[in-house]
Amino acid sequence: MKILVTGATGYIGKRLIPLLLNDGHTIICPVRDKIRAENYYRNQKNIQLVEADFLNIDSLLNITKDIDAAYYLIHSMSNSAKEFHLLEEKCALNFKRFSETTNIKQVIYLSGITNDTKLSKHLLSRKNVEITLASDKYALTTFKAGIIVGSGSSSFEIIRDLVEKLPAMIAPKWLNTKTQPLAIRDVLTFLHKALDKKELFNTSHDIFGPEILTYKEMLLQFAEVRKLKRHILTVPIMTPKLSSYWLYFVTSTSYKLASSLVNSMGVEVIGNKSNINAILDVNPMSYKEAVKLAFKKIEQNSIISSWKDSYISSGKLKNFVHEFVNVPEYGCFKDHKERVINDKKRTLDRIWAIGGETGWYYGTFLWKIRGFLDQFFGGAGLRRGRRHPTELNIGDALDFWRVIYADKEKGKLLLYAEMIMPGEAWLEFKIDEGKLHQTATFRPHGLAGRLYWYAVMPFHWFVFNGMINNINK
């Protein structure tokens, strides 16, 4: 079959596509940033990447109409736009109009459980998208999931941060809200097995794990799995804004995502029972089993996708990393250093392991201070770390940087700064003719940007000298 998969570089899409390829299907992926997607799927056969944006219906003309089925995985949980629901509706409407002109027989849509009488704006938007996608030209299969538990998922990483960082918590009352968490592996099984399943055409099913748990119980069970003793006191006085700041400062989430989550966490996410488990022969695992499986993947360094790699995890980069590949020359300050290298492979391995748990090779204390200041002013800080300890792909988050270019064979790594500052910054590592070149470039925005550069220049001298020396050690 030829299958259209939207959200191909997203958390679910990057995990679903390999399953479909293993079945021998041909996958068509409309993506906004083709260069970034090519980096993910460069070694895969039977996959076609097409640059298209569902907010722009004219761009959809690039997509072939010879398609048998489609997955709709577009979701903007942490979109900063105030009228995000209108953007989601527009995406769904454009997708529907395009799909009605193709040979698509089935569209499979992953939504959220929407059974509570008082839904958040995001859950209302999810419900509206389902209504918008319904069509007489193709069959719609909708799966509605609650909290998804898996390595790299936003909910898993937030719970992990809270449990592992705080031995005791004074937490907001929404921790008593009930939910039915579902393992990412089970979500993928539902999506995978539903393909071309005619008894599921034009049906909608809630999918959920076997337990009803409060968020507090999820935190405590997570602590049990990690063999940690934790104490949680819930108080009724935390406003949604205070709750958002609480999540933002303690966990690796952005403030925008924290606000979205807080608005949704006051809503009970309890699914309606159906025969979907029997139809697809799925027996969802328990919450503790899902947590154990997630840590097994983490220990094996086999995290396929992470919410942190989404552009909106920092809010600074919007759509295309390749727009920042050409480092500017005019009106910029530069700090360039070079060293003769003895072992190219070893040097590249050290460069490709930079950041995250490895750190930045020199001035760790200064990097942490800069990260704290960035977080204090609303930036990502150093909390995002990195998805994999030794692998880097275009578009990956790397502490408060974003990977813009990464080619180990050509010996070049280029990072773009997503920290809060009055200007733009790039950090480049390049090996050429037996030398390691390390270049920091800063393009100031006005007088404030110039003052900022001169203020940090003394620290740069120590940090960048130490960094290149230790990389080349």
CATH for 270: 3.40.50.720
- Say whether both 261 and 161 belong to one domain: yes
Is 244 found in the same domain as 179?
yes
The 10s digit of each residue's pLDDT in 252-290 is 776 676 776 766 677 788 889 999 999 999 999 999 999
Q: What is the mean pLDDT of the chain?
A: 86
Residue 432 and residue 302 share a domain: no
pLDDT at 319 over 90: no
Q: What is the pLDDT of residue 9?
A: 84
Residue 288 pLDDT: 95
The residue from 309, 332, 356 where one domain ends is: 309
- Residue that the structure tokens 């006191």 belong to: 233
Query: Between the CA of residue 253 and those of 66, 91, 308, 385, what are the distances in Å?
Result: 40, 25, 8, 12
Q: How confident is the model at residue 323 (pLDDT cuts 50, 70, 90)?
A: low
What is the mean predicted confidence (pLDDT) over 143-158?
86
pLDDT given at position 166: 85
Reply yes or no on whether the pLDDT at 302 is more than 70. Answer: no
* 452 in the same domain as 350: yes
Residues 6+ away with beta carbon under 8 Å from 198? none
**The predicted structure's pLDDT at residue 464:** 93
Mean pLDDT value of segment 326-350: 91
259, 349: one domain? no
Give pLDDT, residue 378.
76
Mean pLDDT value of segment 374-394? 82
pLDDT at 317 over 60: no
Average pLDDT, stretch 170-194?
91
At residue 331, the pLDDT reads 86
Domain of 408: which CATH number? 3.30.530
pLDDT, position 76: 63
Q: Which residue has the higher pLDDT, 326 or 141?
A: 141
Both 273 and 328 in a single domain? no
Beta strands in 129-209 (DSSP E): 139-145, 148-149, 168-172, 178-179, 182-183, 203-207
| pLDDT band at 315; cut points 50, 70, 90 | low
Do 221 and 348 share a domain, yes or no?
Answer: no
Mean pLDDT across 49-72:
91
The CA distance from 389 to 387, in Å, is 7
Confidence class for position 382, pLDDT limits 50, 70, 90: confident
At 81 the pLDDT is 47
Number of folded domains that form the chain: 2
Q: Give yes or no: residues 267 and 342 share one domain.
A: no
325 plus 450 within the same structural domain = yes
**One-letter identity of residue 270:** I
Residues 241 and 101 in one domain: yes
Is residue 79 very low, low, confident or very high in pLDDT (cuts 50, 70, 90)? very low
Q: Which long-range contacts (CB under 8 A, 24 or more apart) does 255-259 make?
A: 255/378, 256/78, 256/79, 256/80, 256/312, 256/315, 257/77, 257/78, 257/154, 257/312, 257/313
Q: Give tens-digit pLDDT for 231-251.
A: 988 887 767 677 777 777 777
Tokens of 101: 């002109």
The reply to whether 153 and 184 lie within a common domain is yes
Instruction: Give residue 312's pLDDT band: very low, low, confident or very high (50, 70, 90).
Output: low
Same-domain pairing of 265 and 323? no
Structure tokens at 352: 């490709």
pLDDT (0 to 100) of residue 162: 86
- The label of the residue with tokens 């049906």 reads 203
Residue 144: predicted pLDDT = 94
Dump the DSSP string for 254-274: -HHHHHHHHHHHTS-B-PPP-
Residue span of the structural domain in which 105 resides: 2-309
Percentage of residues in the chain having pLDDT higher than 70: 90
| Domain C-terminal end among 253, 283, 309 | 309
CB 418 within 8 A of CB 380: yes
Match 């934790």 to its residue by tokens: 230
Task: Select from 275, 309, 343 the last residue of a domain.
Answer: 309
Number of H helices and E strands in the chain, helices first, is 14, 19
Question: For residue 159, is pLDDT > 50?
Answer: yes
| pLDDT class of 305 with cuts at 50, 70, 90 | low
